[in-house]
Amino acid sequence: MLSACKKDGAVITATNGTPGVLSASATTLVLNNTKLTDPTIVETFTLTQASFGYNAAISNTLQIDAPSDNWANPYTVSIGVNVLTQGFNTNDFNNALLKAGMKGNVTATVNVRLKSAIGVNTFIYSNVLALTVTPFNLKSWLYVVGNFNGYSTSTPDSLLSSTGNGIYTGIINFTSAGNRFLVLPAKNYNNKYATVTNPPVPNTGTSITYATEYVTGGGNDLYAPSTPGNYLITLNTNSNTVTVAAVDYFTIIGDAAQGWGTDVPMKYINDGNGGWSATLPLVSSGQFKVREDVDWTWSWGVPKAAGADGFGVANTLNDNNNNNIPVAVNGTYVMTFFTPITLYTTTPPPAPASTTATYSLVKQ
């Protein structure tokens, strides 16, 4: 408990304090992604000032949090001294909600309260507002260049943050040409994410994590493990760390493509939809399958007839006990295979995250 307040010479102590009162202009709000650049205020919080028993400089902080977090790690917004309102436009409030743990395109409850403080250890909380909100996902991309593409900024790969939370992910195929890379906010070298660690470092195995820095000049290349392959890159711009970990990958094999002895690699598309894709010529005189890590331990084909071994969901592929995938007519096709990402850990390949997977086969 805080002691009572009295002034004795230059010594002042605070009372327990009377909390401020917080109110909101809207308690139910559906955010519209077409208003992303609109400066119009869509939510305003109004407060009455807390009191600690004497004329003190009170700092106010708005806290926004998911109920399940129970204020363990709220998103915070500092409010200026003697400022009694805080407004948010669509972009700012949507960002706040996502960083507080809300899911895009999902209606849920978010809690908001005011923390009023004098100094570090003397503070009090207002009432809690329970708002019903529907934010939207705020996708953003960073660009990846490196040995794998000749450091070309005109044909970069990408990393995606599907919610705008500052964490970017993507799968890059590091070829035998080398394992160095850089992450760029734009298709130029004006700014970049580099590393404060000077290679070479021990980078064998299937996963490494190290520090990054955002620089306008200097810095060292980022790097993947030395073994060529498909790696999941996770760049956390909040903690300035990058993790590069090997993942299971997928290929097309069959006499409809380049034969049952030749795998055609598929590329992971970093768009948040979880698809591996390849564009290739296929012939109707043959058939094909999708397999994991160039190995027959896990492979996918068309489900067999109802009641037969390997029967699965219509319009999906089944692992192992299945039929080959037919091709209707000769032509160039885009084959896209959708399945959750799994980290590569053993040989032979581990069981996939899902034993059925959707696909599309589209003639160009």
218, part of any domain: yes
pLDDT above 70 for 309 = no
Indicate whether 76 and 128 sit together in one domain.
Answer: yes
Which residue among 246, 281, 299 closes a domain? 246
Indicate whether 316 and 220 sit together in one domain.
Answer: no
Which residue did the predictor score with more confidence, 79 or 80? 79
pLDDT above 50 for 4 = no
44-79 pLDDT per residue, tens: 999 999 988 777 788 899 999 999 999 998 999 999
As a whole number, mean pLDDT of residues 280-297 equals 92
Which residue among 226, 246, 266 closes a domain? 246
Report the CATH number that the domain containing residue 94 is assigned in CATH: 2.60.40.3760
As a whole number, mean pLDDT of residues 300-316 equals 64
* Counted domains in the chain: 3
Indicate whether 199 and 116 sit together in one domain.
Answer: no
Indicate whether 98 and 168 sit together in one domain.
Answer: no
Which residue among 216, 246, 276 closes a domain? 246
Indicate whether 147 and 183 sit together in one domain.
Answer: yes
Range of 234's domain? 140-246
1, part of any domain: no
2, part of any domain: no
74, part of any domain: yes
Report the CATH number that the domain containing residue 333 is assigned in CATH: 2.60.40
Indicate whether 111 and 24 sit together in one domain.
Answer: yes
Which residue did the predictor score with more confidence, 344 or 262? 262
270, part of any domain: yes
On whether the CB atoms of residues 171 and 231 are closer than 8 A, the answer is yes
pLDDT above 90 for 156 = yes
pLDDT of res. 218: 80
Indicate whether 184 and 303 sit together in one domain.
Answer: no
Q: From CA 51, how far away is CA 56, in angstroms rounded?
A: 8
Indicate whether 275 and 236 sit together in one domain.
Answer: no
206, part of any domain: yes
The residue type at 123? F
Indicate whether 113 and 180 sit together in one domain.
Answer: no
Distance of alpha carbon 93 from the chain centroid: 19
Indicate whether 161 and 277 sit together in one domain.
Answer: no
Report the CATH number that the domain containing residue 199 is assigned in CATH: 2.60.40.3620
150, part of any domain: yes
**Picking from 35-39, 216-220, 246-250, 252-256, which range would have the lowest pLDDT averaged per residue?**
216-220
- Torsion angle of alpha carbons 68, 71, 75, 77, nearest 10°? 140
Indicate whether 148 and 236 sit together in one domain.
Answer: yes
What average pLDDT does the structure give for the chain?
A: 86
* % the chain with pLDDT above 70: 87
Indicate whether 49 and 159 sit together in one domain.
Answer: no
